[in-house]
Amino acid sequence: MDIDFELKKRADFFNTQLEKFLDGGNPESLYNAARHLPLAGGKRLRPCFSLISCEAVKGDIIKVIPLAIALELIHNFTLIHDDIMDKSKLRRNLPTVHVKFGEPSAINAGDLLFIKAFESMHNISIDCSIFKNVEFGFIDFIKEICEGQQLDMDFENKQTVNEEEYLEMIRKKTAVFFQFAAEAGAIIGGGTQDEINALNEYGLNAGLGFQIWDDYLDISSDEITLGKDIGNDIRNGKKTLIAVHCLNNAVGDDKELLDRIFGNINAAENEVRQVYDLFKKLKSIDYAKNTALNYISTAKNVLDKLPDSEAKQLLLELADYSIKRNK
Amino acid sequence: MDIDFELKKRADFFNTQLEKFLDGGNPESLYNAARHLPLAGGKRLRPCFSLISCEAVKGDIIKVIPLAIALELIHNFTLIHDDIMDKSKLRRNLPTVHVKFGEPSAINAGDLLFIKAFESMHNISIDCSIFKNVEFGFIDFIKEICEGQQLDMDFENKQTVNEEEYLEMIRKKTAVFFQFAAEAGAIIGGGTQDEINALNEYGLNAGLGFQIWDDYLDISSDEITLGKDIGNDIRNGKKTLIAVHCLNNAVGDDKELLDRIFGNINAAENEVRQVYDLFKKLKSIDYAKNTALNYISTAKNVLDKLPDSEAKQLLLELADYSIKRNK
């Protein structure tokens, strides 16, 4: 099975539906700003999670498309607002929405995608009480995303973050997305309660694995040059799992080194290198890598509860996909 | 009937429920930022519209509280984001959310109130298909609010705006709020389709009247001193109904004067005075006042379709209330 081909097939189908859904609208200035990011491509991983989960319970993926659109719009709404908060200039190789359209229109475009996501939810053809149940889960996970975003921002100014707090942050900021996508895809697909629960767990664990692997990739892909990204993360005191592990395990001189350099915006090149070397010495990078692999492995094991099918095979490969990908 | 007393009674009851709904939440930094504005008071006009509409169809107002909370949260979410867009420093005599908590947390707090509004909608105890219907109206009006906000921003850079365009902007930015509040209050209260339609029209017309009266109050309350607000609105080229009327009726030298000064950020004090005098000469201020009064009158006439009751009397006075209030 060629996972890239299978994902692209679904993403292409999804894109056609998304373009249709986002077509038109007045005033054009608002709708153009709102379309800029969601129509700029991307892997459509969240939609794929919901589509393939639906397939895995033998559901009709056409019924899941409105959910998949809603998920992608919420993802894009959070990216637009996060980019304003982080003052990011580029996203998917394009200027961010606030750079291209100005900050006021970008805030408003994000808000529009937020409400359009709910509009799309209402296009799900499903029994009313199931709809309410799915929509309530949708609301709940979006609330967690707001909370996760705040935790992430708060962590930058926090001296110490323990692993539990870190995991809670990435669960809320990232993993709930995959958790809800997989669970709701299974509900709409008509899965049994056991299947729904299994796909919920699959999504959660895959989501956690993805995010931690992202932290790991950031540092390992940048390893040789120890380029701008790692340097900035160390200078900004970014609480990745690697940093959290190191902060919680360093003692004596190592601890003193971290206190002095980690989160010091003026740290010199050789100081950043010292922190990086400490990450290696305390095996923090390995620890993050192994933690990610464990979550991916748990995600895959949970799928034992599903009957064998091509879609199940695809979900297994999708979990592994995260630990193959490059930045 | 003492309208101030009646509104305050409902606002007090509403505030208790709102405080309960917004209590707690993690992380505190986010929830404190999100509570700052909604718990800072205000007249709770939108909740009152929904509560009294429910009363007017002999419904139980307890059932409307979750809707009223949702409306107030959406109102506050738009204020928080609009204040960022407009760079406003004060709101309800307090620092705006972005001034007090920083812009990133303010964007996120607005987003949280947005999603909490949907959470509150799910607390409405009502038949599922009616719920879906009401929630769809909720989604639709929020979408219009985003569109109206964009139109308002776009108008500042537009040379000419006709009256139809202006009315469409305030309908979307403001009036739909009152329209939906009144309509949904009647639906949840179990009103007949005729009653629901009448309260929809009532809310729309009262909302349009309110907003135009606001423009009128801005200029008339500032008349003697011709203070900062009018000066800024003229220098920024703000498209109020007064300005729109004047721009569309000025010819010859008057037109030339407007073209030169209206929207000229560097206009001198005496030039601003000339524009103001032109507003008077072309009866643009009177025109706006009369237009507002007409909408209020229409709103009241529509209520003929409702049986007499104390609540109906209150709605009649509520419509007049807008044209009695001061800034």
CATH number of the domain encompassing residue A131: 1.10.600.10
Instruction: Identify the closest residue of chain B to A107 by CA–CA distance.
Output: B81
For chain B, the C-alpha Rg in angstroms (whole number) is 20
Q: What pLDDT does A326 receive?
A: 58
- Predicted pLDDT at B207: 97
What single letter denotes the amino acid at residue B184? A
Q: At residue A265, what are phi and psi to the nearest 5 degrees?
A: -60, -20
A123 touching B (Cβ < 8 Å): no
Cα torsion B36, B39, B41, B45 to 10°: value is: 110
Q: Is B132 exposed, middle or buried (0-12, 13-18, 19+ CB in 10 A)?
A: middle
Read off the amino acid at residue B312.
Answer: K
Q: Report which of residues B270 and A143 the model is more confident about.
A: A143
Yes or no, beta carbons of A135 and B122 under 8 Å apart: yes
What is the rounded average pLDDT of the residues A253-279? Answer: 93
For residue A228, the model assigns a pLDDT of 54
Percent of chain A with pLDDT over 70: 96
Q: CA–CA separation, B194 vs B56, rounded Å? A: 13
- Partners of B91 in beta bridges: B94
CB < 8 Å to A104, chain B? 84-86, 153
Do A115 and B154 lie within an 8 Å CB cutoff? no
Nearest to B153 by CA among B175, B176, B140, B172: B172
Q: How far is B85 from chain A (nearest CA, A)?
A: 5
- Taking an 8 Å cut-off on Cβ atoms, the answer to whether A111 and B146 are in contact is yes
The CA-CA-CA angle for residues B98, B99, B102, to 5°, reads 50
Which residue out of A35, A111, A128, A135 would a mutagenesis test of the B interface target, given it has the greatest number of B Cβ atoms within 10 Å?
A111
The minimal CB distance from A111 to the residues B81, B132, B136 is found for: B81
Across the range A14-39, mean pLDDT stands at 98
Rounded Cα distance between A88 and A98, Å, is 9
Mean pLDDT of chain A: 94
Entry field: residues in chain A: 327
Question: pLDDT tens, A111-135?
Answer: 999 999 999 999 999 999 999 999 9
Q: Identify the residue among B98, B136, B146 best suited for mutation to test binding to A, counting A beta carbons within 10 A and taking the highest.
A: B146
> Which pLDDT value is given to residue A188?
98
- State whether B136 and A116 contact (CB < 8 Å): no
- In Å, how far is A26's CA from the nearest CA of chain B? 7
B111 contact A CB<8A:
yes
Q: Verify whether the Cβ–Cβ distance A112 to B143 is below 8 Å.
A: yes
B223 or A103, greater pLDDT: A103
**Residue ranges, chain B, pLDDT below 70:** 221-229, 325-327
Q: What is the mean pLDDT of residues A245-264?
A: 94
Total of domains in chain A: 1
A·B CB contacts under 8 A: 110
CB B63 within 8 A of CB B188: yes
Q: Does A81 touch chain B (CB under 8 A)?
A: yes
| Strand A94-95 relative to strand A90-91, pairing | antiparallel
Between chains, do A81 and B116 touch, taking CB under 8 Å as contact? no
pLDDT confidence of A319, banded at 50, 70, 90? very high
The domain of A304 spans 3-324
Tens of pLDDT, residue by residue over B124-146, are: 999 999 999 999 999 999 999 99
Shortest CA distance from A129: residue in chain B:
B128
Cβ separation B132–A143 shorter than 8 A:
no
Residues of B in contact with A132 (CB under 8 A): 122, 128, 131-132
Q: CA of B298 to nearest chain A CA: how many angstroms apart? A: 28
Interface confidence, given as ipTM, is 0.94
CB contact under 8 A, A139 and B27: no
Looking at residue B224, its pLDDT comes to 53
Give chain A positions within 8 Å (CB) of B79.
none
**CA distance to partner chain A, nearest, from residue B325 (Å):** 30
Which of A76, A87, A108 best probes binding to B when mutated, by most B CB atoms within 10 angstroms?
Answer: A108
Q: What is the pLDDT of residues A46-91, one digit of tens each?
A: 999 999 999 999 999 999 999 999 999 999 999 999 999 989 999 9
Partner B contacted by A122 (CB < 8 A): yes
Out of A30, A122, A154, whose CB is closest to B136?
A: A122
Spatial CA neighbour of B177 closest among B19, B30, B70: B70
